[in-house]
Structure 1
């Protein structure tokens, strides 16, 4: 018998050394966390959310392998405050950043405060490597103390300002705190390296570099934000389908390609193709089963504000810069093999500010800031719906040319309040398109939400609820 025992032990040892990498969790119990954010992608721009014209096979597959959310909201209806809410766990009633750069009372940009705790700060405390690749957009004006490395990230490659991120052939990115000059790039002529491709390749390199460490990668892509431009190979699949042509302005601030529809579809499909490369890389490295991936968009779409060829918002009203559902309800897909049930769907009401506490719970820690507005989504993700805490309400405010506008959602009811206008009350359970204003019929519910609106925000000298000067509006019109 001892002879056979020794033989079994030898066989087991050989099997251990020759097993696939995915059988070994290199990071122990702490999962890698990847948060992927598209820019101005509509709720209906993915096949898994009803899109029929644009092909997104990899994100659709991610949805079948994970959980898709139908009631998830961005931090804001424009990029800068939305990203701030994601990183800090605050809603727009309590965040320090509540608007894009020039839309402050003074006209000067407001960035994250040096003392603000971000999700990267939290994860770094427990051994995570942290990186942001793509669009940072929170280092406007005087950038001292406001680069990603000042807010908990170990590594950064991308645009530091959101205006620079309007151009896909911009000639200066940043690596950490230093300029990275792309000498061959000319944004006006759209020559050189397509920056989206740079970000994807860097993400592939990053996960390979950090495969032996728990890591948090915030991949902030710029597709499909204007300007609309993409290399020809991504447009070719859509060029002979008989689609109507949409002529684009090619000489203004945005150096768009001449035809919009094939370009828009090509941009989204290119993003989907490249995310497929990332998903495959994780599998090849054997870390797919210990990596949770989030995918979303920073706000609603802008491209389809004129026509509705792609039906980017499905049945939702409005788009970017609106506080109707089309401006703030966004796609949200989460995949975690072996932990999140494949093909699951959630109607739980959630928002960007839930990400920080969610990431903390996944890492086994409690957020150090007890005053954030976010609630961890881990119970919902792991199928423990009975344990999932719910928000009393969700709150947004927006203050550009048509502002100020406030919105609040409590269960199925939503109030949209404009400074100069009548209150709009909608029941989203029966009217997702916000077509029937029930303010007159449901006075009791209206008064309840109006009263709640008064307590849902803290005062902020940089973002008072007042109209902005005309001169300031002109500055912020681009």
Structure 2
């Protein structure tokens, strides 16, 4: 009798632990690359560059074929991702200094980020890598935007270096011993980001965490340790000679670019393997994406980085905003599935909130949760009525609205518009603005209604626009 009583007591005592394990909120790991084209990865058709770990991630999860970045350049795209608001409502609508005043604009205290929301839900949060929303080192820095831990670059210009001499660890600008930027000597920053990510995961494996892992690869400058180029040096590709200027490029562009992508793929593989080793992979949602379209090919298209899509970084054609996007959550997301519905960076915040069991604080966000799609409950999935972007830099302002099969691009600086039926013309070759005036007018009305005015981003022609 005493034996059965002891078993009963032990069972009761362990019940809270069992329930806690069942009720533990899933970890969220968002891996973001910088300027990676839609077709720079094998699972989207790349044939020259090897990305075995990302290809495996796609085969074990869901590949989104119509996922859009927040903007065609990194700063506003990341702001959209963090706040759940598209470029018509987001506080940061251009990269630094492309404001009316010429001063960089960061996130402010009123912005509600994914990290702030998940902290409210009991998550430990970290941003490792490129942040790019804290140029002024005030309200926009990660530690002021909901992140418990930060290691990386607050500003854009410093993030252009792969052998930086300093990097931010929270609010300390920490020197990297042995690094000489101009000589490209010392510790390779991608390695440091991976090491920091793995350490954060190890320290927080027992509690729910949100890790925003934002590698700078393969953004210019193009450089990587020489020994990591061995495979691609043997391919006998034609030389694309890269000249040094602001960027301290390695000489052989094709070899270097491919080596950088394959190397970061390897390091992502190490992070994913760690999740499995710690037995937390089944309770971790992993998302992989790029912040905007590619920049490298520059019209030559050696790697065919955007496949069938027209344009690249800084364009509001598909090539500038249509990005690779994969989600894996073992046991929740059916392996090897494809999502052809339209989703965007501003959908991440409401998705994360729903996963964490909370409602978004800001009821005026533009995003919708795609959790039903992840879980295979497509009948419960809400759809966007329309999608909106704007580009406020040298070629701008340019506006874009997509509604269903149609998209309208408004080139304010050229006083010209283009209308595409994107489902029939994915490469955006035929401007139908004169053939479908009623459809064009319908979309023009949305352009006017989709945005709020912002004193730093007026829709007027830039003085240096061409």
Scaled by the length of structure 2, what TM-score is found?
A: 0.95
Residue of structure 1 equivalent to 2:122: 127
Residue of structure 1 equivalent to 2:113: 118
Residue of structure 2 equivalent to 1:240: 234
2:40/2:305 contact within 8 Å kept: yes
Residue of structure 1 equivalent to 2:393: 400
Task: Write out per-residue CA displacement over residues 45-78 of structure 1, whole angstroms, 9 at most, x where no aligned residue.
Answer: 0000000010001000000110000110000001
Q: Distance in 1 between matches of 2:254 and 2:155?
A: 27
Shift of 1:259: 0.4
Out of 239, 248, 260, the position equivalent to 1:267 is: 260
Residue of structure 1 equivalent to 2:354: 361
2:397/2:461 contact within 8 Å kept: yes
Look up the SS of the partner of 2:77 in the other structure.
Answer: helix
Look up the SS of the partner of 1:305 in the other structure.
Answer: coil
Q: Distance in 1 between matches of 2:256 and 2:443?
A: 42
Shift of 1:26: 4.8
Residue of structure 2 equivalent to 1:186: 180
Residue of structure 2 equivalent to 1:48: 43
Look up the SS of the partner of 2:316 in the other structure.
Answer: coil
Look up the SS of the partner of 1:267 in the other structure.
Answer: helix
Q: Which runs of 5+ in 2 are unaligned?
A: none
What's the Cα RMSD here? 2.0
Task: Write out per-residue CA displacement over residues 228-280 of structure 1, whole angstroms, 9 at most, x where no aligned residue.
Answer: 01112321111111211100012x00000000001000000011000110111
Comparing 182-191 and 377-386, the one that deviates more? 182-191
**1:36 is the counterpart of 2:31:** yes
Look up the SS of the partner of 1:187 in the other structure.
Answer: coil
Look up the SS of the partner of 2:285 in the other structure.
Answer: strand
Residue of structure 2 equivalent to 1:312: 305
Look up the SS of the partner of 2:416 in the other structure.
Answer: coil
2:24/2:207 contact within 8 Å kept: no
Q: Map 1:22-421 onto structure 2 (within 5 A).
A: 26=21, 28-140=23-135, 142-250=136-244, 252-419=245-412, 420-421=414-415
Shift of 1:466: 1.5
Q: Distance in 1 between matches of 2:67 and 2:419?
A: 20
Q: Distance in 1 between matches of 2:214 and 2:90?
A: 20
2:410/2:416 contact within 8 Å kept: yes
Distance 1:346 1:181, change over 3 A: same
Q: Distance in 2 between matches of 1:393 and 1:404?
A: 20
Shift of 1:105: 0.3
Task: Write out per-residue CA displacement over residues 329-369 of structure 1, whole angstroms, 9 at most, x where no aligned residue.
Answer: 10000000000000000011011000000000000111011
2:107/2:139 contact within 8 Å kept: no
Q: Distance in 1 between matches of 2:132 and 2:372?
A: 31
Shift of 1:452: 1.1
Q: Distance in 1 between matches of 2:20 and 2:233?
A: 45
Out of 427, 430, 455, the position equivalent to 1:461 is: 455
Shift of 1:451: 1.3
Shift of 1:24: 10
Residue of structure 2 equivalent to 1:476: none
Shift of 1:121: 0.5
Look up the SS of the partner of 2:383 in the other structure.
Answer: coil
Q: How many residues align?
A: 457
Q: Which runs of 5+ in 1 are unaligned?
A: 17-22, 474-478
Q: Distance in 2 between matches of 1:389 and 1:272?
A: 33
Shift of 1:325: 0.3
- Point out 4+ residue stretches in structure 1 off by more than 2 angstroms: 23-29, 467-470
2:36/2:218 contact within 8 Å kept: yes
Q: Distance in 2 between matches of 1:401 and 1:115?
A: 28
Look up the SS of the partner of 1:304 in the other structure.
Answer: coil
1:25/1:290 contact within 8 Å kept: no
**1:449 is the counterpart of 2:443:** yes
Task: Write out per-residue CA displacement over residues 172-206 of structure 1, whole angstroms, 9 at most, x where no aligned residue.
Answer: 10000111111311111101111111000110111
Distance 1:257 1:454, change over 3 A: same
Q: Distance in 2 between matches of 1:58 and 1:197?
A: 17
Scaled by the length of structure 1, what TM-score is found?
A: 0.93
